[in-house]
Structure formats: structure tokens, C-alpha cells
Structure 1
Amino acid sequence: MLKMTKPREDETRTSAKKAGVITLTGQLAKALVQLAGLIAFSHLLTPRDVGLIGMVAVFLLLGELIRDFGLSQAAIQTAELSHGQASNLFWTNALVGLVMSASLFVAAPAVADLYNEPALSSIAPWIAVTFTINALQMQFQVRLARDFRFLTLTLTDVFSQLAGLVLGLIAALLGAAYWALVVQLLVASATLLVLRAGTARWVPGAPRREAGMSALYMFGLHSGLAQLVQYVASNADSFTIGIRWGAAPLGIYNRAFQIFSAPANQLLAPLTNVALPILSRQRHEGRDFYPLLLKAQIAISAALTFVFAVVGSLSEPLVRLALGSAWRESAPLLSILSIGGAAQALSFMAYWAFLASGNARQLFLHSLVTKPILAVAIVLGSVWGLTGVAWGFSLGLVVSWFISLGWLAKCDGMPARVFLSAGLYVLQSGLVTGAVLWLLNSKFGDHAPSVVILSIGFLAGGAIYATLLCLRKSNRTVFRSVLSPVAARVKPLLQRN
């Protein structure tokens, strides 16, 4: 029986702080890899190439959601997981992954007809292969997370992304056009499976009747249904744009959305593998995990809000420098989406609270309320074009955060006012910083190189933002606890030199 064991101090079992440092460092490396790909592909491919993959991505995300359907979260949050239970979950994932692959393969012509893009009939079957590959990988990821082997999780993630990027760029340079993005996706998925299967030190057994499976499946069902509702809402923008305006406008929006979503994808999603087992362990031991979650909210939201403040206020020089003039229409969309990005970071803390507290059913019910609001806001915003879609998406994220706090206060006794106060202060600091940088860019943006504006903006914005945050005592306490271990390691090195 695999229990929620406490981490040990060696290369593979780490403390919570060390796990966070490892994950953050790895995600920084992964972010650099993906940023390099974003820039390179933007110069090698057209908006239509990117838009075609964006159209298929709507179905890719749906398949990815269904083939897991919350089973990975169920396996991570449970106090004990036997080898038989893990094996059953592995084969369940594999079966659903195969079904999803076959479904998209058969539906490829219908997808092409839906968007009136014949190229999708040949792209979709290849994208479908990733459902099975990723389904086979999932329980190896769970095993690594439950063993607190966050270094292995991080390294395999970074290396798989790097492999996909290298081969994808080679294909693009050879003139493969949108097929280069397909190559990137397939190589990254296959590499991740091989690496994690080879390092997990676990081999699934044959499926068999096993006690406790119904509870795992029920948790997974509620979690998966919540993610399904979230999928419908979160992809309403891409689906609406693709249907109404076609591949090229979707490509423009997609590039803005990729830059907007990169910070959250590179930080929050991987940190779930760290946060969920640690918070769940505290709950199983009868301890209150909300103080730890509050510290995580302050530290993580502070970092991401600064990123969104800089990116949103300086979107024009950023897009001009990184993507080129062909993508200039993405800049205003990026500014608008960045507003919702800060709220999304705060909402992710609530998502962790729902899962760690075992309230998967409440998460589903919460999603039934908040996600339709997001979808309706996006569809209504589309009346005003791409800009309206972006505003709808951002406003929907802000509303969802407020609702999640009230919901957790009722169903799990979360100190919502404390979380609300801390979050609003961070958002306020980000808005002030962003406003100053926007004024800076509006005054000097046309008279200075983009790299100069971005550099000055980053440094000046960092100074303003840090000053504002540190005016609040609780923030200073959290930052001191995060930075003290780093300072303790760096100081001897400086003294030695």
C-alpha cells in the first residue's frame, strides 16, 4: 500500500520548500523553451498555420480532459493507494485514451466541415494519437508525485518539451508549415511517456477487482465533471472565433492567449503536483492547511501579477520584439487578457482548496455556476469582435474568483475574508504598477527601441511593485520566509568570493 509518506531529504524525496524551488526552477527552464518556440514559430509560420492547430486544440483539450477525467487527482489526494488500485486506474486511463483517439480519428472529416477547413481532416487523426500516449503516461506521473520525486517530474517535463521543440523547428525549417506544430506535440508527448515510465520504478499489474475503487472513481467523476464544465467555458473563445471568423483571426488571438496563459501553465499547473499531495497530507493528519495555502497565494499571486502587469502594459513593444509586425493585432488582446490572468492565479488557489479538502463534488457544483458565466461573457463579448472576446474572458475570470471564495467559506470553512483581502491588495499593487508602465510606454514607446522600453519597464515596474507589496506586513513575513533559505545559501558563496 502506497501511503502519503512524508518527504525525506535526499535527491528524490524533498521537503515542501525544496519541492517548490525545484518545480519553479524547472518551470522557468520550460518557460524559456516554450518562449523560444513561440518566438521562432511566429517567424516561421503564418497566422493561418497557428490558427489551424488552434482549431484542433479545442478538441485536443476535450480529449485530454476526458481520458483522465479526474483520476490523477483522485490518485494523488487519497491517503493510501495500493498497487492494484493504481493498476486499475492505469488501465482505465489507457482504455479511455484509446476510445478518445479513435473518436477524433473518425470525427476528423466532421471537424474539417465544422470549420470549413479541409486541412483539418488530415491534421486531426495525428493529433488524436496524443490521447493514448498521454493516457499511458498519467499514472506514472501520479507515482512520481506521491513519492515526492519532484526533481524527476520537473526534468522529464523540461526534456520532453525541449525534444518536441527541436524536432518541430527542424520540420518548420524544412517547410512543413503547420505540420511542424503537430511534430512538436507528438514528440513531446512520446518523450514524456518514455522518460516517466522509465524513471517511475513502477510497473502496472493486470486489472482486477480491488477494494476502494468506487471512492476513487467517484472523486474522479466529480473532479472530471468540474473540468469538463471548465473546458466548455474556457474554450468558448477559440470555438467562437474559429466558427465566426476563421483560422487567421484565431491565429492572432491564439498568439495573445498563449503569451497570456504561459505564466499560469508553466507555474500553477505543475505546482499542483507539489501542492496537492502536501495539502492533502496535512488534511489527512488533521491539520488546517489554509495557513499554508494563504502563504502560497501571496507568494504565487504576487509573482504572477507582476508578470501580467508588465506584459499587459507593455504588450505592444513585447509583441513587436518577440513575434514581429505580422502579429501586431495580438498586442491589445494580450493587454486585456492580462487583467483576467491575475484573477486566474488567485482562483487556482481555490481549486487546490477544493481538491485538497476532498470537496470534488462541491468543485463540480461550483463549476456549474461559474463556468457558464464565463462562457456567456465570451459569447456576448464576441459582438464587439476579438477585443470583446478578450474582455469577456477576463471579466468571467474575475467573477469566478469572487464566487469561489464564498463557496469555500460555506462548504469547508475557508477564511475567505483573509484570502480576499490578501488577493485584492496584490491586484491593487499590480494595477498601479501597470498604469505607471502604460504611461511610460505611451510617452516614450515610439521613440525608443522595444528592448529598451521592456528593460526599463521591467526594472522600474519591479521597484514600484515590490515597494507597494512590502508596505503590507503579512506580505513581508511571507517573502522573508521564502527568501531567507535562498539568502542563507547565497551569503557563504559571496563571502567566499
Structure 2
Amino acid sequence: MAQSNIKQKTISGVIWKFLEKFSIQLFTFLQSIVMARLLDPSDYGLIGMVVILNAFCAILVDAGMSNALIRKNDRRKEDYSTVFDYNFVMNIMMAIFMVLIAPLIAIFYHQPILKNIIYLFAAQSASGALLAVQGAKMIIDLQFKAMGIINVVTTVSSGIISIVLALFGFGVYSLVIPNIVAMYIRFGLYYYYQRWFPGFTFSMNSFRALFSYGSKILISNLINCIFDNIYPIVIGKKFSPKELGYYTRGQGYASMPATTVTDVIANVTFPILSKIQDDTEELSRVYRRMVRVSAFLVFPVMVGLFALARPAVLIMISSKWEPCIIYLQIMCFSFMWHPITTLNMNLLQVKGRSDVFLRITVIQKVFLVASLVVTVPLGILWMCVANVVITVLTLFINTYYTSKLLNLSFAKQMMDLCPSLLASIVMGIVVMISIYYITSLGFQLLIGFLAGVATYFVIAKMFRFQELPYVMETAKEVVASKWKK
């Protein structure tokens, strides 16, 4: 594929995904502020106790088949139908499983209300097969604009419904019911844009070919799901729902900026890199550019969020959430590495090394279990600190493997991150100094934000960061193209 074509598709995909994610995250952020003021921290804690069940079942339903379908170059009609049929059967099975296990989970946590929450998750799962293949097909066809519109519409709709339900006193159910409504809205929009209907033709040969690749991704995703949610499980069992609520809110706000970029990378880079998987030189060039741009955008945001966490939380969601501030600050240094890790893991999948993908996942989880054994008796704070250490270690490990695949030195990959990291640290110091003597929370937030933006821009300009003109040029191209239209 020509370099100009790669750039065009990458820019188009990244811009649409970024606009989509920015719109969604902005609305979600504003909605979360309203919901946090309306609901009790324990409501978020209850959801945190059972969210792993919903995620676990969703992974079993997908079984890595979507990724296998996206990666496959010679797709046939029966491939799509086979994946749909598998999803359909598994969704029904998972819904039944949720209904059966709900009473046991309620007993485990000593929270009877969890049974009704899980029943609602089961209703959502039973209809999930309607979405999986359509979503994968839109990624394959690089329909990022349509996907962006769909995601924005469903997010805004569910957000408005959740606020209305919370205002009418539905409590924790206002965090669950809107997801079911959003799923059916998404279903209608998928078929409006896609016009794809399943053929109900199950091919065992197609299933074997897709599952041989997807099975390793399935195992890896299941392991990730369990261990990504192990903190809520442990905190929910050992501490109160309110303490879990503080953790989930702190972790949730820390994840927002990084998740925006991570989701863009996960959805856009996989199909783009898949098209140049056999051209190692071009793959290396595109990969390094993505790493540098990701670091340039994410690092300052996460460091800035760390520096301004206290005034931001107290102003936006009130002092009743003050205990979540320290968790938010610590988790910023965990999530700031997630976009880079996601890009590395995507590269392993693109090169067909799902075995290495699984190996790295297992290593990371061994570290996590060891850290929990040590830190759980010490409290939630030290559990968060250990999470940061594990994230950095995992980054080193997956970067080592990607360096082998691209014939690119480990040191050179790390050096790609250093300029943005150092500039962000300096920016964070300037922000904290600038607000140190200011007593007004509002002025702390305003002055700190302006000082951070100005400092980072000056450093990037002074030291001629390549990413600054690249980002600005890309933005100009997008504005120009939209203006012409």
C-alpha cells in the first residue's frame, strides 16, 4: 500500500475516532458529574462488584472471532455468518448462566440487590449477538465516520436516560437500564448504515480457521478480564461498597483521557497495520509515528490531571467524593502507559503472534497476583501503587517483543517516549508551583490549566518536537477537508 494512502487512511480513521471518542468522553464526563451528585458512592460500588460478570460473558461470546475476522484478508460470506451464528448461541447460553449464578454472587457479597442487577445484565447479554459481526464489518470497511455517529448517538441517549432515572430515584438501576436501551438503539443504527443480514450458514471449516487464531486472543482476554477486575472483586469483598465506589470513581476519571486515545488506537491501528503487516520497514515507520504521537498527546494530559485532581474533584462532584482523589492521582501514572501498551499488543496480533500476546498476558497477571498478596493487607492505596509498577514492567516486556518483530532496538523505542515524558514532568512541576499559594479552587483549576498548556507548548516549540507540527498539520488537513465539503 502506498505511503500516501496509508497516511490518508490513518489520518481519516484517527480523526473520526478521536472526534467520536472526544465527544463521547466529554458527554460521559459531564454526565458522570451529574450522576455522582445524584447517586451515593455505594451505588457505584455495587456495579463494580458485578461488572466483571458482564465483561467475562461478553468475551466468551466474542471468543476473539471479531479480531480473527478483521485480520483475515480473504473473507467470505460464510465467515461472517459463522461468527454470527456462534455469537447468537453463546449469547443465549451466557444469559442463562447469569440468571443461574446471580443468587450465588449476591450471597458472596452479602448484597441481595445484586441479584436483580445481574438479571438486567442477562437481558442485555441475550440480545448481544445482534451487534458483534456488524461492528467488526464496519471496522473492516474502515467506516469510522458511521461508527463515530453510532457511538455518539447511543452514548448521549443512554446518558440522558440514566440522568432521568436517577432524578426519579431509581438509584443503582439508573446505571444499568440505560445500557439495555442503548444496545437496541445501536442495533437499529448498525443496520441503517450497514444493511448486512446474516445468512445463517455455519461453516465448520470457517469456524476452525477463525477460532485457531481467536482462541489465543480469547484466553488472553479472559485472563485480562479477570485480573482487570480483580481490584473491584477484592475491594468489594474486603471493604465496603462505599470504599469500592471511591476507588471506581478515582480509577474511572483517571482512565478517561487514556481510554480515549487507547480506543482510537485499538480500533484504527489494527486494520491499518494489518494491511501493511508484510512490509516490515513501512510497519516500523508507521508504528513509531503512532507511538510518538500517542505519548505526545497522552502524557501531558495525565500529568496535568494528577496535578489538578484535587480542585477538579471538589468543584465538579463535591466534597463527598474527596477520598477518591488520591486513587485518581496514583492511577494517572498507570493509565498514561496504556495507549503505548495497546499499540504494542495490536502489533503482536497484526504479525500473527497471538502466542506472544498470551505469554505477555500471563506474565503480567503473575506479577499482579504477587502484588495483591503483598498489598491487600496494606490497603487500597498500596494496591494502586503496585498497579503502577506492574503497568510499567508490562510496558517494558511488550516493547521488548515488538522490538524483535520490527528489528528495532529496545533503546530506540524507549527514546521515542522520552521527549514527551520529560516535557510533561516539567509541565506538572510548573502547574503545582503555579497553584501552590492560590486558595480558591476555581482559580487553582483555571491558572493550573493555562500554565500547563502554555508550558508544554513552549517546550514542544523550543525543542522542536516533531509531533507538534505533525498534529497541527493533521488538524489543518481535517479542517480544510471539512471546509471544502
TM-score range normalised by the length of the shorter chain: over 0.9
Change in 2 beyond 3 A, CA 1:482/1:188: same
Structure 1 residue 96 corresponds to structure 2 residue 111 = no
Distance in 2 (alpha carbons) for counterparts of 1:209 and 1:484: 47
Distance in 1 (alpha carbons) for counterparts of 2:110 and 2:463: 54
Deviation at 1:21, TM superposition (A): 0.9
Distance in 2 (alpha carbons) for counterparts of 1:318 and 1:375: 33
Instruction: Quote the residue 2:228 is aligned against.
Output: 234
Distance in 2 (alpha carbons) for counterparts of 1:396 and 1:255: 21
Superposed, 1:379-394 pairs within 5 Å as: 379-394=373-388
Superposed, 1:362-401 pairs within 5 Å as: 362-401=356-395
Instruction: Quote the residue 1:323 is aligned against.
Output: 317
Instruction: Quote the residue 2:159 is aligned against.
Output: 165
Superposed, 1:5-24 pairs within 5 Å as: 15-24=9-18
Distance in 2 (alpha carbons) for counterparts of 1:24 and 1:469: 22
Fraction of identical pairs, as percent: 21
Change in 2 beyond 3 A, CA 1:489/1:397: closer
Q: What per-residue deviation string (whole Å, max 9, x for no partner) do you get for residues 92-116 of structure 1?
A: 1222222222111110011111111
Instruction: Quote the residue 1:289 is aligned against.
Output: 283
Instruction: Quote the residue 1:276 is aligned against.
Output: 270
Distance in 1 (alpha carbons) for counterparts of 2:71 and 2:463: 34
- Alpha carbons 1:377, 1:395 under 8 Å: kept: no
Distance in 1 (alpha carbons) for counterparts of 2:478 and 2:239: 54
- Alpha carbons 1:234, 1:375 under 8 Å: kept: no
Instruction: Quote the residue 2:342 is aligned against.
Output: 348
> Which stretches in structure 2 are left out of the alignment for 5+ residues?
none
Distance in 2 (alpha carbons) for counterparts of 1:489 and 1:276: 22
User: For residue 72 of structure 2, what is the amino acid of its counterpart?
Assistant: T
- Alpha carbons 1:336, 1:394 under 8 Å: kept: yes
Instruction: Quote the residue 1:463 is aligned against.
Output: 454
- Alpha carbons 1:219, 1:361 under 8 Å: kept: no
Instruction: Quote the residue 1:483 is aligned against.
Output: 472
Distance in 1 (alpha carbons) for counterparts of 2:259 and 2:215: 23
User: For residue 452 of structure 2, what is the amino acid of its counterpart?
Assistant: G
Structure 1 residue 46 corresponds to structure 2 residue 40 = yes
User: For residue 454 of structure 2, what is the amino acid of its counterpart?
Assistant: A
Deviation at 1:471, TM superposition (A): 5.3
Change in 2 beyond 3 A, CA 1:214/1:401: same
Q: Comparing 159-168 with 180-189, which one deviates more in the overlay?
A: 180-189
Instruction: Quote the residue 1:361 is aligned against.
Output: 355
Distance in 1 (alpha carbons) for counterparts of 2:415 and 2:192: 45
Structure 1 residue 138 corresponds to structure 2 residue 132 = yes
SS at match of 1:81: coil
Deviation at 1:29, TM superposition (A): 0.6
Deviation at 1:62, TM superposition (A): 1.5
Residue in structure 2 matching 1:453, options 444, 449, 459: 444
Distance in 2 (alpha carbons) for counterparts of 1:302 and 1:246: 39
Q: What per-residue deviation string (whole Å, max 9, x for no partner) do you get for residues 215-240 of structure 1?
A: 31111111111112222221121111
User: For residue 62 of structure 1, what is the amino acid of its counterpart?
Assistant: F
Structure 1 residue 300 corresponds to structure 2 residue 294 = yes
Structure 1 residue 218 corresponds to structure 2 residue 212 = yes
SS at match of 2:131: helix
SS at match of 2:437: helix
Q: What per-residue deviation string (whole Å, max 9, x for no partner) do you get for residues 311-342 of structure 1?
A: 11111111101111110001111110001111
> Which stretches in structure 1 are left out of the alignment for 5+ residues?
none
Distance in 1 (alpha carbons) for counterparts of 2:479 and 2:191: 36
User: For residue 458 of structure 2, what is the amino acid of its counterpart?
Assistant: T
- Alpha carbons 1:68, 1:93 under 8 Å: kept: yes
Q: What per-residue deviation string (whole Å, max 9, x for no partner) do you get for residues 169-204 of structure 1?
A: 111111101111112222222222221133212111
User: For residue 300 of structure 2, what is the amino acid of its counterpart?
Assistant: F
SS at match of 1:358: coil
Residue in structure 2 matching 1:416, options 394, 401, 410: 410
Change in 2 beyond 3 A, CA 1:209/1:429: same
What RMSD over aligned residues (CA atoms) do the two structures have, in Å? 2.6
Structure 1 residue 187 corresponds to structure 2 residue 154 = no
Instruction: Quote the residue 1:74 is aligned against.
Output: 68
User: For residue 462 of structure 1, what is the amino acid of its counterpart?
Assistant: V
User: For residue 454 of structure 1, what is the amino acid of its counterpart?
Assistant: L
- Alpha carbons 1:321, 1:451 under 8 Å: kept: yes
Deviation at 1:411, TM superposition (A): 5.2
Change in 2 beyond 3 A, CA 1:37/1:418: same
| TM-score normalised by the chain length of structure 1 | 0.91
Change in 2 beyond 3 A, CA 1:489/1:113: closer
Instruction: Quote the residue 2:99 is aligned against.
Output: 105
Deviation at 1:440, TM superposition (A): 3.3
